[in-house]
Amino acid sequence: IAIINTTAPCPTLSIVPPPSSSSSSSASPSKPYLVPPLLRPRSLRGRRGGGGGGGGGVASPSTRVFASSMSAAASADAVVVAPSEVPEKMRAWIYDEYGDAGVLRLEDGVAVPEVGDDQVLVRVSAAALNPVDFKRRQGKFKATDSPLPTVPGYDVAGIVVKVGSQVKNLKEGDEVYGDINEKALENLKQFGSLAEYTAVEEKLLAVKPKNLDFAQAASLPLAIETAYEGLERAGFSAGKSVLVLGGAGGVGSLVIQLAKHVYGASKVAATSSTGKLELLKSLGADLAIDYTKENIEELPEKFDVVYDAVGQCERAVKAVKEGGSVVVIIGPVTPPGFIFIVTSNGEILAKLNPYLESGKVKPLLDPKGPFPFTQVVEAFSYLETGRATGKVVIYPIA
Ligand X SMILES: NC(=O)c1ccc[n+]([C@@H]2O[C@H](COP(=O)([O-])OP(=O)(O)OC[C@H]3O[C@@H](n4cnc5c(N)ncnc54)[C@H](OP(=O)(O)O)[C@@H]3O)[C@@H](O)[C@H]2O)c1
Tell me which residues touch ligand X (CB under 6 A).
130-132, 184, 223, 226, 245-246, 248-252, 271-273, 276, 291, 309-310, 329-330, 341-342, 383, 386-389
Q: For 186-243, give the DSSP string.
A: BS--SB-SSBSEEEEEGGGEEEPPTTS-HHHHHTSHHHHHHHHHHHHHTT--TT-EEE
Shortest Cβ 214–ligand X spacing (Å): 20
Nearer to ligand X, 120 or 262 (CB): 262
Give the integer Cα–Cα distance in Å for 213 and 50.
Answer: 11
Whether cis (ω within 30° of 0) applies to the bond prior to 32 is no
Q: Which is nearer to ligand X, 223 or 259 (CB)?
A: 223
Name the residue nearer to ligand X (CB basis): 112 or 313. 313
Q: Are 120 and 164 in contact (CB under 8 A)?
A: yes
Helix (H), strand (E), coil (C) string for 354-398: HHHHCCCCCCCECCCCCECHHHHHHHHHHHCCCCCCCEEEECCCC
Phi and psi at 254, nearest 5°, equal -85, -30
The nearer residue to ligand X, 25 or 385, going by C-beta atoms, is 385
Least distance in angstroms from the C-beta of 239 to ligand X = 25
CB of 11 to ligand X, least distance (A): 13
Minimum distance, C-beta of residue 85 to ligand X, in the bound complex (Å): 35
Helical H runs in the chain? 21-26, 42-48, 131-137, 214-218, 221-233, 250-257, 277-283, 313-316, 346-357, 376-383
What is the pairing mode between strands 175-179 and 119-129?
A: unpaired
Q: How far is CA 36 from CA 64, 77, 92, in A?
A: 10, 16, 27
> Min. distance of Cβ 92 from ligand X in angstroms?
23
Q: Which is nearer to ligand X, 169 or 274 (CB)?
A: 274
CB nearer to ligand X: give 121 or 220. Answer: 220
Nearer to ligand X, 204 or 383 (CB): 383
CA distance linking residue 289 with residue 283, whole number of Å = 14
Closest CA to 283 of 179, 220, 363: 363
Minimum CB separation of residue 347 from ligand X in Å reads 17
Strands 175-179 and 155-163: antiparallel
CB of 58 to ligand X, least distance (A): 18
Provide, rounded to whole angstroms, the least separation between the CB of residue 284 and ligand X. Answer: 16
Query: Which CB sits closer to ligand X, 248 or 393?
Result: 248
> Shortest Cβ distance from residue 306 to ligand X (Å)?
12
Name the closest residue to ligand X (Cβ): 249
How far apart CA 140 and CA 132 sit, in angstroms, is 9
The secondary structure element, H or E, covering residue 156 is strand 155-163
With a CB cutoff of 8 Å and minimum separation 6, the contacts of 46 are none
- Chain centroid offset of residue 2 CA: 22
Q: Given the complex with ligand X, which of 309 and 352 has the nearer CB atom? A: 309
